[in-house]
């Protein structure tokens, strides 16, 4: 997921990528949170049940969110969102 702060360039705020398998390969491994945006998941596993993830964005002003889904190749990947929520204090 990408966020644009004050309508500027989109900046990554959340990513899910395949983790490294026991063989050191990312092919067909469990999806995990990509904590440093290097296209490899090292964080929490993305499971089949809905899980809440929270990302702090410390900015006051106009924000645009862009959800980008790419690099799905095998035909059996599932993507689901339930309640994308942006909250904060009014300025």
pLDDT score, position 1: 56
Task: Give the whole-angstrom CA distance, residue 14 versus residue 79.
Answer: 14
Helix, strand, coil distribution of the chain in percent, nearest 5: 0, 20, 80
Give pLDDT tens digits for 1-50: 556 555 677 778 888 888 776 666 666 677 888 889 888 888 888 887 88
pLDDT score, position 6: 59
Give pLDDT tens digits for 52-74: 888 877 776 777 778 888 777 76
């Amino acid at each position: 997921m990408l966020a644009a702060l004050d309508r500027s360039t989109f900046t990554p705020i959340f990513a899910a990528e395949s983790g490294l398998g026991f063989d050191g390969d990312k092919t067909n491994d469990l999806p995990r949170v990509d904590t440093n945006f290097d296209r490899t998941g090292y964080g929490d596993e993305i499971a089949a049940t809905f899980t809440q993830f929270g990302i702090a964005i410390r900015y006051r002003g106009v924000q645009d969110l862009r959800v980008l889904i790419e690099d799905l190749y095998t035909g059996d990947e599932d993507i689901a969102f339930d309640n994308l929520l942006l909250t904060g204090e009014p300025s």
